[in-house]
């Protein structure tokens, strides 16, 4: 199967001064257009120290000049892999606009206060689910998972404050590179990539903005 992309032009002259501003510009467009149910859905790819990869879809919960934030169980597969190897990739597949954003960088845990503040904004059922599920671990049956949830629901009825699990929290991904991909017909796509110019190139020093220097590269499609 093949589709001819018909989309708007995208050139170096269209780019914002830094990649987080450019991401905000595209994100607002896709969110306002209503073409995607969850425009903040992204594919998070991690790897073990010896290079075994894994990917899954996660919801982006915040972005700013310091990077991209998502929340998860720290004992899940991605949590354990990021603890051992903080290198990470994010992919935003915005197919209705023939666009993708690809982020590579380094992840670190956010502070507990930030985690607790976000946890309080989650729906009651999602808070219970964070406690009920030992994410990525083997479980005997769905009934066992539902039973855990129901026990927690009885302990913490609607309106009762639920503490954030100690094994659950946020990761902030500080980008080392962000590629903006705009599809065009005849496979003549535009691929413009911001690359952070620092000593180690892994995005580990400081935030994505706040004076970080970036160069822009055009990649062949």
- Kindly list the catalytic residues: 187
Distance CA 54, CA 36 (A): 24
Residues 179, 216: contact at Cβ < 8 Å?
no
Rg (CA), the chain: 19
| Three-class secondary structure of residue 108 per DSSP | strand
**125: Cβ–Cβ under 8 A, 6 or more apart, which residues?**
none
CA distance 159 to 2: 51
**Residue located via tokens 């009762």:** 160
End-to-end CA distance of the chain: 19
Cα separation, 51 vs 49, whole angstroms: 5
If one counts every other C-beta atom within 10 angstroms of the C-beta of residue 201, the result is 13
Structure token digits, residue 145: 């998972």
d(C-alpha 11, C-alpha 86), whole Å: 32
Provide the 8-state DSSP code for 173: E
Paired tokens of 167:
């094994």
């Amino acid at each position: 199967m093949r589709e001819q992309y018909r989309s708007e032009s995208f050139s170096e002259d269209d780019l914002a001064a830094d990649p987080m501003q450019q991401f905000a510009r595209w994100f607002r467009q896709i969110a306002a257009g209503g073409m995607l149910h969850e425009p903040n859905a992204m594919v998070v790819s991690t790897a073990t120290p010896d290079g075994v990869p894994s990917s899954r879809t996660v919801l982006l919960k915040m972005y700013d000049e310091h990077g991209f934030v998502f929340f998860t169980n720290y004992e899940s597969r991605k949590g354990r892999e990021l603890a051992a190897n903080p290198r990470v990739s994010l992919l935003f597949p915005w197919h209705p606009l023939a666009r993708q954003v690809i982020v590579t960088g380094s992840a670190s845990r956010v502070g507990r206060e930030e985690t607790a503040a976000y946890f309080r904004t989650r729906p009651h059922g999602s808070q219970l689910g964070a406690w009920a599920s030992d994410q990525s671990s083997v479980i005997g049956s769905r009934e066992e998972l539902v039973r855990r949830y129901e026990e927690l629901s009885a302990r913490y009825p609607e309106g009762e404050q639920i503490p954030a699990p100690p094994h659950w929290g946020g990761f902030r991904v500080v980008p080392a590179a962000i590629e903006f991909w705009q599809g065009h017909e005849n496979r003549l796509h535009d691929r413009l990539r911001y690359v952070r110019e620092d000593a180690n190139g892994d995005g580990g020093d400081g935030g994505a903005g706040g004076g970080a220097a970036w160069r822009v590269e055009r990649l062949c499609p």
